[in-house]
Amino acid sequence: MAKITVYVCRECGKEEDTWIGECLQCGAYNSFSKTTVERKAQHRATAGLSHSGYAGQQHHITKLNMVKMSQELRCSTGIGEFDRVLGGGLVTGSVVLIGGDPGIGKSTLLLQTATHIAKNQSVLYITGEESLSQVAMRAKRLGLPQDSLDVMAETKVERICEILAEQKTSMVILDSIQTLYTEAIPAASGSTSQIKESAAILTRLAKQRGMSLLIVGHVTKDGVLAGPRVLEHMVDCVLYFEGQSDLQYRMMRAVKNRFGAVNELSVFEMTDQGLREVINPATIFLDRYGEAVAGSVVMVSRNGVRPFLVEVQALVSETKTTPRQLILGLEHNRLTFLLTIMKEQANVDILEHNVYVNIVGGLKITETASDLAVLLACVSSLKNQPLPHDMAVFGEIGLSGEIRSVPNAQERIKEAQKNGFKTVVIPKMNQPKQPKQPKQPKQPIESMNVIAVEYLYQVLQAVFENDALVVN
């Protein structure tokens, strides 16, 4: 076959015949790289397989109600928090992509999962980064059983497909996608075209044979998966490992899940025996001082289907130079946005001060329900006025200073109460409804001191001018 030269976008995988500055599909600038491909290349990896798409469906058209639905079967990974982020366990025949920084614990988690499932099913662990000896030593160090798990060191996609065609395997683990290559693409391993084609072949194979496929992917310095963005579209579930490799705790977040909740968060602890689940994350994110300190506020965040109690810290200091704003765990532009609203709508100007905000535990908050907690922490630091230890807050702030409602408010309040909090500051629209019958016994949630506010200035008055909330 004749080889042709194309330009491939590193972000989305779109191909162009000539180099262009901006990708017309994803909008990325200066993202096209030159590569040589064979358009009609045939190789052994596709021998005996259908070419009707990634899911391997039939070509004929049928009515939706005539489609035979397969039962959603799940198997436990052996780690409860891993099952949670997957939506209740690993779905048979699904393709899962796990990304994270090097050394974060991806290989350790998957090796623990593989050895657990291998007790009852056929599992193949394919490594392209480590030797089989290194995998065996890790399993021994972690105290994992080694008599049931099949392992193979291979990076060639054609060879992997041949092995999978010869034996019946329930689950396959690929570590990692950046090390694989196919003969159909004359490019180096890890290139955009290689990652795209290798993932497409293996995903199609997994769908057609009904086997679960777990793929390890590395991330760039920006925290996104290395390779084309189309890789995330191919798979059923995308999980991200968060945290630092030198810290004890790791967070795993689901950014895409066709079989469960999106943005579900699970917490793990790295030990000598591998990753262990953290049942109550509040023990991590609420590691507070023995006494109340200024600039510390507890917010009730929601990740997936469950609420989290998270401590928000702020430090506001005067400066004679250009003021700096630094926020860890939240979007930087969001902080400037909130401080501007507070200046215009509540007459509290912090823009001329140095402002540092931190989410304790290395957690990344993606929801706007953190707005109220961030501003209260900043004002508390500015006034040097501590807030009560037993007070939690949540709420979104609009441009006119209104406190907007957030979803699942009742669950957030109950979570705060369960952890011993007595006061909660919430949007007025989220105020718990009063019982219709006067003689009806009070619900546990009604025993809390609920401060429902409508505007930002009302929040500041209720919190910082309320004698009952002043900490001496």
Same domain, 188 and 297: no
Question: Is 48 inside a domain boundary?
Answer: no
Mean pLDDT of 205-222: 87
387 lies in a domain? yes
Instruction: Verify that 290 and 268 share a domain, yes or no.
Output: no
Structure confidence by residue, pLDDT tens digits, 423-446 = 999 999 998 776 555 555 545 566
- The residues, ordered by sequence, that sit 6+ positions from 240 with a Cβ below 8 Å of its Cβ are 98, 99, 100, 219, 252, 253, 255
Taken in order 262, 428, 330, 288, is the CA torsion positive or negative?
A: negative
Residue 207 lies in a domain: yes
Please state, for a pLDDT cut of 90, what percent of the chain lies above it. 49
Residue 444 near residue 363 (C-beta atoms within 8 A): no
**Res 89: pLDDT:** 92
pLDDT score recorded for residue 218: 85
Give the range among 281-295, 340-354, 368-382 with minimum mean pLDDT. Answer: 281-295
Per-residue confidence band for 59, with pLDDT thresholds at 50, 70 and 90: low
Q: With 90 as the cut, is the pLDDT of residue 214 above it? A: yes
Give residue-wise pLDDT tens across range 88-134. 999 988 999 999 888 888 999 999 999 999 999 999 999 998 999 99
Statement: residue 175 has pLDDT above 80: yes
Q: Say if residue 322 is in the same domain as residue 180.
A: no
DSSP E strand boundaries for 10-56: 15-16, 32-37
Burial class from Cβ neighbours inside 10 Å (0-12, 13-18, 19+) for residue 209 reads middle
Give the structural domain span for 95.
74-277
- At 364 the pLDDT is 83
Residue at which a domain ends, from 252, 277, 302: 277
* Residue 245 counted as domain residue: yes
Q: Are residues 180 and 321 in the same domain?
A: no
Q: Is 346 a member of any domain? A: yes
Q: Is residue 69 part of a domain?
A: no
Of 277, 298, 329, the domain-final residue: 277
Q: What does the block give as tokens for 340? A: 């501007």
| Same-domain check for residues 230 and 86 | yes
Residue 149's pLDDT is: 94
Residue 43's pLDDT is what? 47
Q: Are 268 and 307 within one domain?
A: no
Mean pLDDT of the chain: 85
- In a domain, residue 292? The reply is yes
Q: Is the dihedral of CA 195, 161, 36, 50 positive or negative?
A: negative
- For residue 162, name the pLDDT band (cuts at 50, 70, 90): very high
Does 114 share its domain with 22? no
Domain boundary among 277, 297, 324: 277
Burial class (CB in 10 A: 0-12, 13-18, 19+), 289: exposed
| Sign of the dihedral defined by the CA atoms of residues 238, 243, 246, 250, in that order | negative
Write out the two tokens for 328.
């860890």
* Band of pLDDT at residue 472, cut at 50, 70 and 90: low
The CATH number covering residue 126 comes to: 3.40.50.300
- If asked whether residues 417 and 312 sit together in one domain, one would say yes
pLDDT at res. 336: 92
Beta bridge partners of 228: none
DSSP string, 333-384: HHHHHHHHHHHHHH----TTSEEEEEEGGG----SGGGHHHHHHHHHHHHHT
**Structural domains in the chain (count):** 3
Same domain, yes or no: 390 and 301 = yes
Per cent of the chain over pLDDT 70 is 88
- In a shared domain, residues 169 and 119: yes
- Could you tell me if residue 63 is inside a domain? no
Taking phi over 0 as left and psi of -120 to 50 as alpha, with beta for the rest, 328 belongs to beta
The string of pLDDT tens digits covering residues 390-413 is 899 999 999 999 999 999 999 999
Type of residue found at 211: M
Whether the pLDDT of residue 1 is over 70: the answer is no
Q: Let me know whether 207 and 188 are in one domain.
A: yes
- CA 153 to chain CA centroid, nearest Å: 29
pLDDT value, residue 439: 53
What's the CATH code of the domain at 418? 3.30.230.10
- What is the model's pLDDT at position 58? 55
Instruction: Give the residues across from 186 on adjacent strands.
Output: none
* Model pLDDT for residues 37-55, shown as the tens digit of each residue: 665 444 444 444 444 454 5
Asked whether residue 196 carries a pLDDT value surpassing 80, the answer given is: yes
Largest Cα span, the chain: 84
With b meaning 16 or more CB within 10 Å and e meaning fewer, what string describes 389-419?
A: bbbbbbbbbeeebbbbebebbeebbbbbbeb
Whether 302 and 272 share a structural domain? no
Length of the chain (residues) = 472
